């Protein structure tokens, strides 16, 4: 069975919340689960653990940073049958339009500009991490030291190059971070990709690739071939 995509949002059934609360032996964790259940907030898909069953989804909850800047997280496992609804990560355009409270100075204008530039290029960016959690829960996740984590899924090598150029330009004004997501679900840090591709010798270059159930070094050429194949299929259609 195909693993659920990382960063996707899952809304759980009442039965799932009941089971998770009953299994927890930690009072603080139980309080978090009760709060999430009461507010009907989603959990987020994380990388599948090696011993996860075929019908199990590995998910998690991230809490707002505490006074020391620590970011507590709860690791959960749910059955596919316990998922009431799911949704891809929210788009930057939607979060920018929401005009969230408590963002660092300059972020809103920068996000608006980035969205407009990407829209003009026909590129949609999705958001995960602290900014996404703040948009979902209205709690204070984002700090001046936070990153804006973005998912960029290019349709072609030309769009990949254009999107990276726009991200690099806006990264001079915003704390941008995140991943390129290739057609087969492989995710690569866009900063690492840029660093590798800026080198003169890159025919045998490799990058760290995150997949739904594994992390490994993979050849750049293999990822570009998958993108070229996707582009070719689109042209045939």
Q: Which residues are catalytic?
A: 147, 149
Q: Which of 160, 227, 215, 170 is nearest to 193 (CA)?
A: 160
- Three-state DSSP class for residue 236: helix
Residue 208: strand pairing partners: 217
> With contact defined as beta carbons under 8 Å apart, do 184 and 210 qualify?
no
Per-residue H/E/C for 122-157:
CCCEEEECHHHHHHHHCCCCCCCCCCEEEEECCCCH
Grouping H, G, I as helix, E, B as strand and the rest as coil, residue 81 is helix
Collect all residues with Cβ–Cβ distance below 8 Å to 215 and sequence separation of at least 6: 47, 208, 209
């Amino acid at each position: 069975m195909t693993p659920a995509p990382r960063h996707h949002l899952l809304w759980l059934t009442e039965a799932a919340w009941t089971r998770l609360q009953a299994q927890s032996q930690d009072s603080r964790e139980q309080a978090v689960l009760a709060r999430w259940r009461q507010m009907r907030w989603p959990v987020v898909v994380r990388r599948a653990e090696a011993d996860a069953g075929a019908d199990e989804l590995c998910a998690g909850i991230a809490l707002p940073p505490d006074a020391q800047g620590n970011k507590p997280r709860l690791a959960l496992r749910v059955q596919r049958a316990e998922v009431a609804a799911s949704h891809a990560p929210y788009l930057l355009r939607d979060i920018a339009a929401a005009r969230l409270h408590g963002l660092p100075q300059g972020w809103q204008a920068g996000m608006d500009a980035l969205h407009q530039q990407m829209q003009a290029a026909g590129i949609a960016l999705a958001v995960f991490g602290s900014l996404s959690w703040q948009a979902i829960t209205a709690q204070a996740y984002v700090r001046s030291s936070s990153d804006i984590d973005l998912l960029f899924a290019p349709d072609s090598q030309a769009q990949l190059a254009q999107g990276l150029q726009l991200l690099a330009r806006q990264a001079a004004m915003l704390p941008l971070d995140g991943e390129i997501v290739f057609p087969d679900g492989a995710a690569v840090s866009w900063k690492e990709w840029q660093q590798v591709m800026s080198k003169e010798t890159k025919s045998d270059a490799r990058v760290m690739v995150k997949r739904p159930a594994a992390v490994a070094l993979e050849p750049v050429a293999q990822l570009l071939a998958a993108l070229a194949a996707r582009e070719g299929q689109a042209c045939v259609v």
